[in-house]
Chains A and B, each alone.
Chain A
Amino acid sequence: MSPCERIPWALGRGGTLTTLVEFDSVGLRYGTGGEVLRDLDFRLAKGGFYFLTGPSGAGKTSLLKLLYLAQRPTRGRLRVFGEELSEADRDVLPSFRRRIGVVFQDFRLVRHLSAFDNVALPLRIAGHSDAEVEGPVREMLAWVGLADRASARPATLSGGEQQRVAIARAVIGRPELLVADEPTGNVDAAMATRLMSLFEGLNQLGTTVVVATHDLSLIAGVPGSQLLRLEGGRLVDPTGALRHPPRPIEARA
C-alpha cells in the first residue's frame, strides 16, 4: 500500500494537487499600526513542501500565525482546509487547529510538564486516553533521540532537546498542515538533517509542510520544495513557486 492510499487526503483525485490554503488579498496589522503583511494572494497545495524565507521583520512569523490560526487577517479572505476562516466564529477554530501542527520559534513547551506530557498534549486534547497515547509518544520521543529524557522537564533540557520535543509535539498527531518557525535553529547539522527528513517523511504521507527559515541549505536538501519569500510584508516569488504548483507526491517519490 502506498502512502497516498493510506492517507486519502494527501492528493486530489487522479493525483491532482488541490488547494489546502488560500490567501486572497490578505492584509494584517496589529492594533493601529501599519500593515505588517500586505496584499497576499497565493495558494498552498495539498501535499506541498514550502520554505518561507525573508529578512528579519519581513513578516514571516505573522504569516505563520495566520496559517496556524493564531491571528485573523485584518482584510482579505483566508481559506484553510476549504473553509473560509477570516471571520469564522472562534468556537469552530479548535477543530481546524487540531489538523495543524505548529513548531514555535520559542518552542512554547509547557514548563511544568515532562517531555512525554508535552509531546502527548495534542493527542490528549484530541480526546485520546493515556493508554492510547503511551506507545506513539514513546516512539516519537525515540525518533527524535529523546527516549531517555521522557520524564525530563523543559528547564532541564538543552535548547536543541527542547526544539526536538517541540517538533515531536507538532507532528505526533500527523497533521494535515505542519507549520514550523525556524525548526532547526538550535540543533546541530546532523540533527537538522534528521528533522528535515522527518518533515519530508510526513510530507510523503501527505502533510503539507511550511518551514520558515533563514538557512538556505535546508532548501537544497528537500528536492521538489518550493520557496516563498517575504519582503516588507509582501510575498515575492523568485522561483515561480506560486505560478507553478509543487509536483505531485508520486513524481517526487
Chain B
Amino acid sequence: MIAWLFPAESARRLLPDGRGRATPWIIAIMTFVTIVIAAAGLALANAASLVGSAAERQISVQLTEARGGDPAGLGALRRIPGVAEARVVPEAEVRSTLERWLGPDSEGLGLPLPVLVEVKVAPGADTERVAEALRSAVPGARVSTYAQELAPLARSLAALQWLALGLIVLMATATSAAVVLAARGALDTHRGTIEVMHGIGATDRQVVLLFQRRIALDALLGGATGAAAAALALLMVLGPAAGLIGGLAGGAALSLSDLLLLAAIPLLLTVLATVVARVAVQRALRATL
C-alpha cells in the first residue's frame, strides 16, 4: 500500500531530492499552528464540558425572608421530590462574594442580605422541573439554575470551539493550496523529465507516483518538525498552568485521547498533502498528450 514510498534507488534518482525547498517548512508551520489551535479548542471543550456537568444539577435559591435559624421554606425545599441536598450558604461566604463586587466597605452599606440556598438535584431528576417546584413551594423566592447563570459563558466557550474548528479547516485548506502550488512548481521544474518519460512510454501513474512520493516525504518531514515544535510550545505554555487549569476545571486540560488526536494531526496533514498532490499532478498530466 505504501510501497510507492520506497521505490528502487534508480527510480528515486528520477526526481532528485532537491535541497532548500520551501514545502517542508510551509507544512511545518501549518502543522504547528494547526496543533496549537486544536489543543486550544480541545482544552476549551474539556473546560466547557466540566463546567457544564458541574452546573447541570445545581440550583440557587434566594430567600428574602429568614425566620430564626431556619429560613422560611427551607424545610419545604428539602421535601420536594428531586432535591438531593439543600445547603444554606453561610452569611460570611455571601458577604465575601459581595465584597468582590462592591468592595471592602460593602458591609457598612447596610444592604439586606438574602439567604442563599444551594440545592443539589438528585441524579435522574429534571433540573428545570425541580426549579419550577421550588418556585411553587416557596413563593417570593428567586430560583435560578446554574445552567441559566452560566449560559453566557457556555455560549462563549462553544463559540470559541467553533472558531477553533473553523481555523483548523482554514489551515487544512491553506495547506492544500500550498501543496498544489508546490506540486505545480515541481512539475514545472521537472517538465523536461516528464516529457522524456512520457515520450518513451511512461504512464501517468508512474509519473504521479514520483511526485506523490516527493510531496509525501516533504509533508512527513514538515509534519514531524511542526509537531515537535508544537509539543514543545504546549509543554511550555500548559505545563506550568496544568495544576491551575486542573484545579479550576476539576480535571486535566487535555486527556490522553486529546493528545492522541493531536499526534494524529501531522499524519492527517501528510495524507491530505499526498492526496492533493496526486490529484494536482494527475490533472496537470491530463492536460498533456
Contact = CB atoms under 8 A, between A and B. Distances in A.
A binds B: yes
Interface of A: 68-72, 90-91, 93-98, 100, 102, 104, 108-113, 117, 120-122, 124-126, 129-130, 133, 169
A98 B11 CA distance: 18
B200 interface: yes
B289 A97 contact: no
B201 A117 contact: no
19 contacts: A68-B199, A90-B286, A91-B204, A93-B289, A94-B198, A94-B202, A97-B199, A97-B200, A98-B200, A100-B201, A108-B199, A110-B14, A112-B13, A113-B13, A113-B14, A117-B10, A117-B13, A120-B10, A125-B197
A-B residue pairs, 9 tightest by C-beta: A98-B201, A97-B201, A122-B200, A94-B203, A94-B201, A125-B202, A110-B193, A108-B196, A112-B16
Nearest to A95: B201
B124 interface: no
B69 interface: no
B289 A90 contact: yes
B8 A71 contact: no
State the main secondary structure of chain B at its contact with A.
helix
Contacts of B203: 91, 94
* Residues of B in contact with A, size category: 20 to 34
Contacts of B193: 110, 112
B206 interface: yes
Nearest to A112: B16
A122 B201 CA distance: 7
A97 B243 CA distance: 68
A110 B201 contact: no
Contacts of B206: 125
B196 A110 contact: yes
A161 to B, nearest CB: 18
Nearest to B18: A112
Contact of B8 (A70, A93, A130): A130
Looking at A97, A113, A122, A125, the one whose CB has the most chain B CB atoms below 10 A away is A125
Contacts of B204: 91
Interface in B165-204: 192-193, 195-204
A41 B229 CA distance: 67
B83 to A, nearest CB: 74
A110 B15 CA distance: 10
Nearest to A122: B200
Given A108-B192, A110-B14, A117-B10, A102 B199 contact: yes
Given A93-B289, A100-B201, 5 more contacts: A91-B204, A96-B201, A109-B196, A113-B14, A125-B200
